[in-house]
Amino acid sequence: MEKHRGFPGRLTGTDFQFTIRRASKKGPSKIIRRERHADRRPPDRRADEAFLHALIDYFGDSAFERGNLDTGRLSWLFEREVLPAEDDFNPESYEAKLKVDLSKAESAFPQIFVAGWSA
């Protein structure tokens, strides 16, 4: 399992996890598309925004290996801002390749891009 050194482990001051410490003996949980409803709590939305911001800062628009990134957090962005980067994508593999769709990320979370970040 690829460990993304330097990637934030969690949202500062909260229990919202961004990475896992070690690989599960049973294998990784499956990445699924979780629906984001309009009535989600503001802390949950901030966690999504912070995680996406960290993905963009760390990987940009390059493909990256899932590795130690938290499945639950990826699932909130999966098939919207975070897409499979390979045709034979396996959602139950630590080696699965993903990619941030910057145009979708900017339309869903414009505040990330207002701060001066650019691809």
**Per-residue model confidence as pLDDT tens digits over 14-23:** 889 898 887 7
Residue 47 lies in a domain: yes
Q: Which domain covers residue 65, as residue numbers?
A: 1-113
Residue 70, pLDDT score: 92
Residue 33 lies in a domain: yes
Q: Look-up: residue for tokens 């919207």?
A: 80
For a pLDDT cut of 90, what percent of the chain falls above it?
53
Residue 118 lies in a domain: no
Q: How many domains does the chain have?
A: 1
Residue 119 lies in a domain: no
pTM of the model: 0.86
Q: Is the pLDDT of residue 50 over 50?
A: yes
Beta-bridge partners for 82:
78, 100
* Span 67-91, average pLDDT: 93
Question: What does residue 17 show for φ and ψ, rounded to 5 degrees?
Answer: -85, 140
Residue 72 lies in a domain: yes
